Structures are given as C-alpha cells and as structure tokens.
Chains A and B, each alone.
Chain A
Amino acid sequence: MTSLLVIIVVVLLAVALWQLTKIFDLTQVGSVSDDSQVASDNDNNIQGYIMFAFLAFIYIFTIYGLLKWGNLALHTPASEHGILVDSLMNITWVLIFTVQVITQGLLYWFSFKNRGHKDKKALFFADSNKLEAMWSIIPSVVLACLILYGLYAWNNIMFVDKDEDVIEIELYAQQFKWTARYAGQDNVLGKANVRLIEGINTLGVDMSDPNAQDDIVVSELHIPKGKKVHFKMRSQDVLHSAYMPHFRAQMNCVPGMVTEFAFVPTYTTAEYRELPFMVEKVSNINKLRAEKSIELVANGGTALDPYTFDYLLLCNKICGASHYNMQMKVVVDSPEDYKKWLSEKTTLAQDIKAAAAAEKPTEEVKASNDSTVKDTVKTVIDTVKAVVAKVAMK
C-alpha cells in the first residue's frame, strides 16, 4: 500500500517536473533566443515568484506540522525538575519561532521583492555600524537571559545535595539489558566491580561488603511518587545511556565509572495513564495497532496486543546490534505500594545462598566428569585469573 503511494508520488512528481521544464522553456520564447545559461529577466521574475511561494510553503508546512504532529511531542513532565526544563523549553521555543518567522520572511520577501531587472541598479549599501551593533547586541542580551536561566536550572537538576534524604538505586547496563539494584534498609549500595561477577551475582556486587548484605537486585524499576530518587549508573561493557523521557532524565552509563542523576517523580503510573493527553495518545496508538493487526491477521500473523502506557527506561547510546531493544519498564508507585513491593523482594545475599544450595549437587557431578587435559588447563587459568583479579582489586 505504502509503496504504491510512493510510486504514485514519484510519477506525479515526474509529471510535474516535465510540466515545469515546459513552463521554463516557454518563458524563454519571448526573450531573444538567449541560451547563455545566465538568468534572464524572465528567469528572475519566475524564480522570484517561486521564492515567494516557497516562503508560503515553509509557513504552511510549519503550521501543518504543529497541528498534525505537535501533540506527538512529550507532554506533561512526570518529575519535579521536568517542569523547570519544560518552562525553559517553552520560552526558548517562543523565541525560536519568532526569529524563524521573521528572518525567513525577510529572506524570501527580499528575494521576491528585489528580483532582478536589467533596468534596475542595486543600492550600494556596504555597511552600517548601527545595524551591526543592533544585531550583535540584541542577540547577546537575549542569549544572556537564556544562559542565566539555563544555568540556574542545570545547577538545580545536576547537583544532588549530600544531606538530602534520597533513595539510592543503581541502574546497571549491559548489552542489551537493564538491571536495578536497591540499597536496602541501610540505603547504602554495597561496593561492586565487574571482576566479582559470578553466577547469579551478575552485577559483581562485593558480598564481603557489609553494606551489600541487604541489597536487592530486580529487573523492573519501581520508584515511589514524591520522593527524590538518586540513580547511580554503571555499565559492564560499552557505553549505554539511561534515558527516561517522561521524567526529562538522561545520563550515560560508562564502564569504569559511576555516573549519577536524581529526580522526584510526581505522577504514579496509574495517575499518568489517566491524564487526558495520555488517554488520547494511547487510544490513538491503539487505533493504529488495531489497523495494523487487521493487516497482520490477513497475512496469517498474530494480532498486536493493545497498548497500555508505562514509563520506560530506554538505552539511548549506540551499544551494539540490539541497541534498539534495550529497555526496562519503570513503575511509579504510591509510597505505600512501593514499600510493599520492595518488602516482597528477596535480597541478593539470600538469592546467592539459595542458588548455591540448589546448585551444589549438580556441580559435584560435573566435577567428576572433568577429566580431559583441556578442562584442567582451563580450570588452572580460571584460578590464576581469579587470583589476578583479586590482587588487582586490592
């Protein structure tokens, strides 16, 4: 269907092109068989009018875009600082639109107005200090305001007060999966290093660290409404970026260092789903999905599930072949629900113990089969590696 549409568009454009050349050729008839390939007065006239038409195109396309796609943009921010970000964004947009409309208007209007004619002579107007000063000073003042507002917001968002009461959560990135680690009762994350990754301790948490004993590892992120959440980000392999668009939050995850970002969620998932714009967006998406499902079913596929909104954590730094599908569901709970959810989770220490208990018998069986030279060598190497790693850690 779409490809048919494209073909039609291409054909129509080809026809338009052919007609256009004809028009251009016809305009040459009056002028004295001029084939110098330099613009004639006729050309100037026609191109001038097209300039004007193009200005109309830009304006109309802008208005069309705003009406048709304006509501695609992220709406109500779901975090406290998001309001600050969006208000700066809106101010900047007003400025940008004003300047865009005026400058494009002048550019194409002057082009149209001053289209050349052989009897005309241009005005020799080489410079004017007044004008130059005007368009150096006005942008400077406007930008100074934007810079100040921007820096104020940036400092507010990026610097986390050490004494503040926050919830510490680690976001852990790996190809192509997110994991979260909660600090537990003591609200201090245990130390961790990729050299300690072993078995189900996939985050390399240092289990000899007392702070690590109550850490909880989960694959779905829950955060409470109205409380500042302080994310500490790590990556085990390549650069990733933890992007939570609805919270206006993003920070890269860098192997070898811990990065951080903090925000206060202001809508629970349930509340955010009920916001009018979101209801409309989801129903629109479901309409599109239903249409697509009909097509899919007709081709022998399965229909798409209807969509309900959830906050998302996406990877937004190219990280490998499956970068496009590295996501984690984020749930904002009411503080009570959050507490309840968290209390139902087992700690990593408990998980490790349980896994060890379950795995022991199988391991013994495996060990008895380890008889080939190759495997022995591998074991030796592994041991050496582990020792080296431990030394390196110290």
Chain B
Amino acid sequence: MSAEAHDHGHEHDHEHEHHHKDTFITKYIFSIDHKMIAKQYLITGIVMGIIGIAMSLLFRMQLAWPEESFKIFNVLLGDKFAPNGVMANDIYLALVTIHGTIMVFFVLTAGLSGTFSNLLIPLQIGARDMASGFMNMISYWLFFLSAVIMLCSLFVEAGPASAGWTIYPPLSALPQAIPGSGTGMTLWLVSMAIFIASSLMGSLNYIVTVINLRTKGMSMTRLPLTIWTFFVTAIIGVISFPVLLSAALLLIFDRSFGTSFFLSDIYIAGEVLHYQGGSPVLFEHLFWFLGHPEVYIVILPAMGLVSEIMATNSRKPIFGYRAMIMSILAIAFLSTIVWGHHMFISGMNPFLGSVFTFTTLLIAIPSAVKAFNWITTLWKGNLQFNPAMLFSIGMVSTFITGGLTGIILGDSTLDINVHDTYFVIAHFHLVMGISALYGMFAGIYHWFPKMYGRMLNKNLGYIHFWITAVCAYGVFFPMHFIGLAGLPRRYYTNTNFPLFDDLQNVNVLITTFALVGGAFQLVFLYNFFSSIFYGKKAVQNPWKSTTLEWTTPVEHIHGNWPGEIPHVYRWPYDYSNPNHDVDFVPQNVPMKEGEEVLHH
C-alpha cells in the first residue's frame, strides 16, 4: 500500500473506531497503541534497571570490603546466601550474571530500543500506528513475561544462573559445576528464548513500518537519524537474535536430553560424563554471533537519539547527515563480522584471530566519523543546555573514552594480556553501558513531554546529569588501571592474591563512586514519577523541533493526528536555515518558492 493511499483511506475510521470503546484494560494494559506500548516498555525497563543497578552496588560493596558483614546483604540475599551479612561466593557470581543479563537485554535492548522505536517510528515517519499493533502488543507482553521469568529465577533454591551473562558451557550446562546451573539456568534459558521471540516480533514490526508506512514526501533520505538507527538496529536484531536462540536450544538439548553439541570429555564430581565430540568453542561462536551485534543493537539507538537531540539543541543541522547514515550502515555490516574478537584466546585457530583483528579495528573508522560529526555539530551552534542535551554530550564523551580502548582490546596481540580483566569491564561499560544509558536518559528527558504531556524538572535533571557524569568516570576510569595490573574480572575477592593488595584502595574508591552515583539515580526516579502527575504541562513543541512527532497534539489520541497526516517537504534538520527567519523549519512546512536545498 502506498503511503498516500494509507493517508486518505483510513484516517476517518481511525478516529471514530477507537475513541469510545477504550476500557481501562484495552487502554492501559493490553493496549495496541504504540505510544502506550512505548511507555510500558519504558516503565518495565526502568524497574529492571533499578534491580540491575542495585545488584551491581551489592557486588561492588563486596569487592571494596571483601567478606565484611553488611546487614543489607542479609536482608536482601537471605540467610542462605548471606549468612551473618557476609556475601557467599556463589551468590556473588549469580549477582554478576544477572546484572549483566538484565542490563544488556532487559534495560538497554528492550528498555531503550523498545521504548523509543515504538514511540518514535510511527510519530516521526508520519504513521497512524505500527504496521501491526496486535503483534506489537504481543511483543511487549512476551517481553514482560520473560522479565517475570528472569526475576522468578532469582528465587529458586539453588540460586539463579551464575555462569556469567555469556553462559559458556560446560559451566552453564552442568549443575555439578556450579549450583546456579540447575533450575536457575533453565529459567534463564526459557526467559531468554521468550525474550528473543519478543524482540523478533518487535524488530519485524519496526522494519515493516519504516518501509511501508512513511507519509507522503518522507523519503528514506528525509528520515530523522533516530529512525535510521532504529531501522538498522531492527535488521541486525533479526539477523543475529535467531542465532542466540539456536545456541540456547542446543544448550537446552545438551542439558536435558544428553546431546553433545557443546560438551566433550568431561570428568566432574568423581565421574566421567558420557558427552563426546562437542565443543564449547562452537557455543562461543554462536553466542558472540549475537553477542557482538548485540552491543550495536544497544548503542545504535542511543546514537540515533543523541544525533537528533544534538541537532535540535544546537539549533544546527546534524553535521554530515549522509555520512552519518553511511556510518550507521557500515557499523551494522561490520558488527556482524567481528564476533571473533571475543575469542582471540578461546583456542580457535590464530589465523582467525588475524582476520577478526582486521575487521574489528575497521569499525573504528565509521565510529570516528560519527564522533567527529557530533563534535562538528556543536561548532558554532547556539547550544540550548536542556538536560537531554547534557546527556547527549555526555554520551559522546563516554563513547570516545570507552571506544578508544577498543583499539587495544580489538587487537589480538594486546588482548592476550588484558582479556577478561577489569580493563574489559572499564571499556565496555563506558562505550556501551554508560553511553547507551546516557542515550536512554537523553531520550527520556527529550521525549517525556511527548509521552506524558508534562515536563521533567530541569534543575533536577542538571543535578542528575552532573553527579552521574562525575561518578561514571569515577567508577570506570580507575578500572583501566586495575585491569592493566592484571586483575581478573569475576573474582569474588582478591584477598587470595597478595600481588593485588595494592589495588584494594582503588576498589574502595570505585565502590564509593558507584554508591554515590547509584544513590543519585533516585533524583531521576523522583523527577520521573512525580512529573508524570505533577510536572508542568507541556506545550506542543517545547524544544522547537522540526520532526513530525511535535505536530501531534499534546493529549494522546489513537491514530496520532486528529486530521490528515502531515506531508513532508524537507529534511529533518532545517535548523537556522538562512532562508528562513525562525531558527527551525518543521518537516511539514512546504518549501518557499525558489527555496534551494542547502544540504546533500
């Protein structure tokens, strides 16, 4: 169906169909309206984020003050896992594992991409809703179900999955190897399988919507960069998530039906197991075939949000719109052929290591292009420091700091000695953890008025950003040094190595920053939840933005626009266009007579 036909054919039915029969359940729970689904994703993501971050604070406390007694451990972890308030070693690994899983998948994949793809794709391309509202609803509820199962796994008797978020077998396959690989791991796998189904439905929906439902005049080269990143992210997801699903299924077979896909020659707990011929390295390949694209699934949407927010708040076009699109595509392509850099020392043929070093370091080029384009966007701008803008600048900053150390980790020779040390933790938390989180915060501050019709308090936003910014660097910058000292990650305590005694002070400092930074997220939570009800009422276009979502009324209506869907006449970045007196020209404003297009 062409965009035009869609326009004229359906708009009247939409208005009349949906307004009067909304009940509480269809409006707030089993809603098929993309805006409501976006909010559901966001709230679920925030709740999971609270849990994930709280877990990290617990194990950070253990690392700073190893085997010390804290009442809060006993309260939260119970007598079994924290007798007398001392954290046990197996629950430490469980916390690390679930923290990683929750943050990567539930917060930064579903919480970030799910929220903003759902909110912005229809609004910014000029569509009434997603291509399939029903599938969209199913997608959210599967995500919700997977989150519930993941949380349930925290309460099984032997403890939740504790083999690390990468769940490498045989550790994840054998309950004899670690207690968490019993029921806890089964629930983990079930949860992830459902999560993947949810993610695939969402992604297919995003792809189809972007391809088919763009309004008249919205060509691909007039799409805001947000949409480009959501679109490309969805494609990467569709390509790589099924591979993780297959890995999970094969692992389930190995665990429950005695197959030997990933296991071979194992002697554990005093007996030889029957497995023969499988290879854990195969699992690593399958896992990272998703695992690496996954970090781009996380970071690309954040990049899109940041590009959009930076342009708006700089009152300038994003610099190098086409170069940005090219670099998004290049990153997406390269992201699928670099997974082996997680496996340089896995025992795979060193020749493969050479190939993956080559492809991995290539990713630095499109990444550098993006970073320089963002910096140039700020140059001679008229910067409006709304909280969203601060988080966007912060994102560029942490993306650069974290990205640069990728040159070390992506180089097989250098990776030998820093692999699986705290250096890796510092790198990926800055480049995709904190950066994506900043992107998410930026998105929330920027589009809160669109979601809730009210404004977030800006002063609380400023405090939230600056404390978070200082603490993020305070946590992850010193980690580089303890990583370079050779300190392995996933150690419950370092007290068995006098060699690492001089790192303990650094660990205390890191934990202090983490606790302060974690505590100040409460400022955000307060701001978020109180502003939903008591925030200042928003005007239609508070940030004076050019994109279509700000042409919809503040009050949400099903179908987004009360009348006709606006037509698009120009690209999304006509800020401070010298042909116009106002410093922004929305996409739906027709070109003036004789007006020239001033960009490529």
* Residues of chain A at the chain B interface (Cβ within 8 Å): 2-3, 5-6, 9-10, 13, 17, 20-21, 24-25, 35-39, 43-44, 47-48, 50-51, 54, 57-58, 61-62, 65, 69-70, 72-74, 84-85, 88-89, 92, 95-96, 99-100, 103-104, 106-108, 110-111, 114-117, 120-128, 131-132, 135-136, 139-140, 143, 146-147, 150-151, 153-155, 157-159, 174-175, 193-195, 197, 204, 236-239, 241, 243, 245-246, 248-252, 254-257, 259, 281, 284-285, 288-289, 304, 307, 309, 312, 314-325, 327, 385, 389, 392
**Contact among A122, A146, A307 with B315 in the assembled complex (CB-CB below 8 Å):** A122
Q: Name the residue of chain B whose CB is nearest to the CB of A251.
A: B345
Residues of B with C-beta under 8 A to A151: 354, 357-358
Rounded to whole Å, the gap between the CB of A355 and the closest CB of chain B is 17
Q: Provide 7 A-B residue pairs closer than 8 Å at the C-beta atoms, listed in order of the A residue.
A: A69-B481, A88-B413, A104-B397, A107-B397, A288-B501, A320-B178, A327-B497
Nearest 3 Cβ contacts at the A-B interface: A256-B264, A245-B486, A47-B385
Residues of B with C-beta under 8 A to A5: 512
**Contact among A48, A96, A257, A307 with B407 in the assembled complex (CB-CB below 8 Å):** A96
B280 within 8 A of A: yes
Total A-B residue contacts, Cβ distance less than 8 Å: 405
Rounded to whole Å, the gap between the CB of B65 and the closest CB of chain A is 6
Q: Name the residue of chain A whose CB is nearest to the CB of B283.
A: A239
Question: Do B508 and A2 have beta carbons less than 8 Å apart?
Answer: yes
B47 within 8 A of A: no
Rounded to whole Å, the gap between the CB of A382 and the closest CB of chain B is 10
Residues of A with C-beta under 8 A to B266: 194, 236-237, 255-256
Bound Cα distance A25, B459 (Å): 8
Q: Which listed segment binds A: B15-23, B120-128, B360-368?
A: B360-368
B384 within 8 A of A: yes
Residues of A with C-beta under 8 A to B5: none
Question: Do A85 and B463 have beta carbons less than 8 Å apart?
Answer: no
Q: Name the residue of chain B whose CB is nearest to the CB of A159.
A: B350
| CB contact list, B339-357 vs A, under 8 A | 345-347, 350, 353-354, 357
Residues of B with C-beta under 8 A to A61: 473-474, 477
Residues of B with C-beta under 8 A to A114: 314, 378-383
Question: Do B484 and A73 have beta carbons less than 8 Å apart?
Answer: yes
**Contact among B272, B368, B384 with A389 in the assembled complex (CB-CB below 8 Å):** B272
Bound Cα distance A372, B260 (Å): 35
Rounded to whole Å, the gap between the CB of B467 and the closest CB of chain A is 7
Bound Cα distance A107, B396 (Å): 8
Bound Cα distance A38, B542 (Å): 7
Q: B252-290: contact bitstring with A at CB < 8 Å (1 yes, 0 no)? A: 000000000001111110001000111111000000000
Rounded to whole Å, the gap between the CB of A99 and the closest CB of chain B is 6
Question: Do B497 and A312 have beta carbons less than 8 Å apart?
Answer: yes
Question: Do B501 and A307 have beta carbons less than 8 Å apart?
Answer: yes
Question: Do A36 and B598 have beta carbons less than 8 Å apart?
Answer: no
B438 within 8 A of A: no
B35 within 8 A of A: no
Q: Which listed segment binds A: B136-144, B300-308, B488-496?
A: B488-496
Bound Cα distance A325, B535 (Å): 52
Rounded to whole Å, the gap between the CB of B128 and the closest CB of chain A is 29
Question: Do B375 and A314 have beta carbons less than 8 Å apart?
Answer: no
Question: Do B385 and A57 have beta carbons less than 8 Å apart?
Answer: no
Question: Do A124 and B575 have beta carbons less than 8 Å apart?
Answer: yes
Question: Do A158 and B350 have beta carbons less than 8 Å apart?
Answer: yes
Q: Contacts A121-B576, A251-B347, A307-B501: A92 and B411 contacting too (C-beta < 8 A)? A: yes
| CB contact list, B501-521 vs A, under 8 A | 501-504, 506, 508, 512, 515-516, 519
Q: Contacts A2-B65, A54-B469: A194 and B265 contacting too (C-beta < 8 A)? A: yes
